[in-house]
Amino acid sequence: MTELNFLCTKCRKGFDCDVGKIAFPIEENRPRFEKDIVCPRCGVLTMDDVELTELGQTQLGEIFMAELE
């Protein structure tokens, strides 16, 4: 289980979401998540509806580095 901290751009609230496995396709400039991103208030969101918070970016960076090893 992989939790990332997101900011929902619809309700402007932060939340933690379990995104499952994370893939980093070279041809895309954004990671791909196994599970949907679900805002506790707005429901299922796409990557266009959310931003990674500073904490979320740090978490994602650590996962990316771990993938490389």
The site for Zn ion (CB under 5 A) is made up of 8, 10-11, 39, 41-42
Say how many Å lie between the first and final Cα of the chain, rounded. 19
The closest alpha carbon to 53, from 18, 9, 22, belongs to 9
- What's the closest the beta carbon of residue 13 comes to Zn ion, in angstroms? 6
- What's the closest the beta carbon of residue 42 comes to Zn ion, in angstroms? 3
Nearer to Zn ion, 8 or 19 (CB): 8
CA distances from residue 5 to 15, 28, 61 in whole angstroms, order as listed: 6, 21, 12
Nearer to Zn ion, 49 or 63 (CB): 49
